[in-house]
Amino acid sequence: MAPLALVTGASTGIGRACATRLVDLGFHVLAGVRNLDNAPERTEALRLDVTSEDDVAAAAERIGAELHVLVNNAGIAVSGPVEVVPVDHWRRQMEVNLVGQVAVTRALLPAVLRTRGYIVNMSSIGGRVANPLFGPYSASKFALEAMSDALRREVAPHGVRVVLVEPGGIATPIWDKGHADADQMLEGADPDAVRRYGTLIEQVRRSTERLAREGLPPEAVAEVVGTAVTTQHPRARYVVGRQARIQAVAARLLPDRGFDALVARYLRR
Ligand code: NDP
């Protein structure tokens, strides 16, 4: 029987590409989706809202004793100035991108332990670097990275490999969804605060549009995930894309103030 893999958030973008790549590699893929009609071809659709305890329990039930690969990919991007983003949006960001991943991981870890399998957590270069207006998103990804580091060290002695994937800009629907949510949020925000950050919002929007346009296709991330889960000793972290690699190196080498200046210069382009 084909080894079993689950990809959360498999309806679009990176998750969809990962599900398809894993099918090509010979896995039986459960595609975690909120709407069963949106599962990619050749996969088995599994209703899975990662914030729903019932869905997570039902997924564990379906999977049973053995799971070879878990790709925690589901995610949303909440963006805006710290001052402007309402607290319930912060909660939602953490609920989907961190707590949801933890819930799925906890429910399925026994099945992954049994196969000495792989857990891939879809982080972001935003899990290493927090750019302006990406406070909520980066907070969730920094937290996911911390969870992954702890988990990797806990389960390595038991044969489970935990991998972080850190893409830079990838051309997926996440950016348009993020813009739509941000527009709605700004409409309800204090006008003084919106004015205070107006220029920055414009600059970040321009740079995000540029990144989305010039972003790699989601298949580039899927390729890396495929490599990680078919390698005996995968790396702890895979940075995906040139722009992400530059940021990772700059963040490691530059002092904080130097990196601040670099970000400001980039946004003025
Ligand atoms: P998409 O918006 O295309 O995909 C997000 C996926 O997550 C969708 O399948 C969506 O399902 C699903 N999702 C959202 N909320 C939930 C939830 N509560 N429960 C289950 N599934 C949910 O974006 P991407 O493909 O870009 O994003 C995938 C991952 O990659 C995210 O974790 C993101 O942070 C990360 N990433 C993306 C980058 C990029 O540049 N695009 C860069 C770095 C990391 P539905 O269709 O039902 O909404």
- pLDDT, tens digit, 9 for 90 and up, residues 204-235: 988 888 877 889 999 999 999 999 999 999 99
If you measure from the C-alpha of residue 15 to the centroid of ligand 1, how many angstroms do you get, rounded to a whole number?
A: 7
- CB of 93 sitting under 6 A from ligand 1: no
Task: Provide Rg for the chain, Cα atoms.
Answer: 19
As a whole-number percent, the residues of the chain with pLDDT over 70 amount to 100
Intra-chain end-to-end CA distance of the chain, in Å: 53
169-194: pLDDT as tens digits: 999 988 888 888 888 888 888 999 88
84-94: pLDDT as tens digits: 999 999 999 99
Q: Sign of dihedral through CA atoms 250, 252, 255, 260? A: positive
Whole-structure pTM value: 0.97
Q: Is 90 exceeded by the pLDDT of residue 74?
A: yes
119 sits in which H/E element = strand 118-122
Diameter over CA atoms, the chain? 61
Select from 137, 127, 135, 130 the least CA-distant residue to 83: 135
Torsion on CA atoms 67, 70, 74, 75, rounded to nearest 10: 150
If you measure from the C-alpha of residue 258 to the centroid of ligand 1, how many angstroms do you get, rounded to a whole number?
A: 31
Tokens of 61: 């039930």
Q: Which residues contact 110 (CB under 8 A, 6 or more apart)?
A: none
- Whole-number pLDDT of residue 51: 98
Nearest CA owner, ligand 1 atom 47: 34
Residue 118 annotated as catalytic: no
What is the atom index within ligand 1 of the atom nearest the CA of 218?
Answer: 25
Q: Which residues contact 242 (CB under 8 A, 6 or more apart)?
A: 168
Tokens of 112: 């992954």
- Whole-number pLDDT of residue 212: 79
- CB of 215 sitting under 6 A from ligand 1: yes
If you measure from the C-alpha of residue 74 to the centroid of ligand 1, how many angstroms do you get, rounded to a whole number?
A: 5
- Whole-number pLDDT of residue 213: 83
